[in-house]
Chains A and B, each alone.
Chain A
Amino acid sequence: EPEVTQTPSHQVTQMGQEVILRCVPISNHLYFYWYRQILGQKVEFLVSFYNNEISEKSEIFDDQFSVERPDGSNFTLKIRSTKLEDSAMYFCASKRAEGGNTIYFGEGSWLTVV
């Protein structure tokens, strides 16, 4: 069964450093998402991406965050200058097309900012 894959599974970074989290969505999917989950809290929507542009973003997704689809397979989340409060699990997700299609999630990348 096709799945969303994410790397790295865990990253520790110094505060102020840039971090790039990588995702390979399911191959025929066209809509891509990033979510995050701070330890003990809800899963929160960050951003959705379609047709090489951001289609929606939450208020969490400020200027420190950016997303990119650099080639036909990868989808990345960049945090420009990490803060302690960016420590969280980051989930990538993808969906095939418009309408009531199912969104599938990856296993997550755990980011620890020290």
Chain B
Amino acid sequence: DVQMTQSPYNLAASPGESVSINCKASKSISKYLAWYQQKPGKANKLLIYDGSTLQSGIPSRFSGSGSGTDFTLTIRSLEPEDFGLYYCQQHNEYPTFGGGTKLELK
């Protein structure tokens, strides 16, 4: 199976700032990487798939980049509702997830 390693584990930022979360696959997954947001009491939300395709309804301040083994989720101009947990997931073969990144308010 494909191991997914996310970094950083924790990230503290303020509204208006930009942040990046990294995800590394143990082998090439081409472009097949998705990003999800998880918040307490809410259903998990798909943000990006195929590495850089923005899911319908997701604000354009979210963007994804990368291919092969290295991927990045960037959130520009953080809004208060962006704080939470973020997971990467490869969808090249049976799915595996990264360990998660907690985005906290500084």
Q: Tell me, yes or no, whether A binds B.
A: no
User: Which B residues have a C-beta under 8 Å from some C-beta of A?
Assistant: none
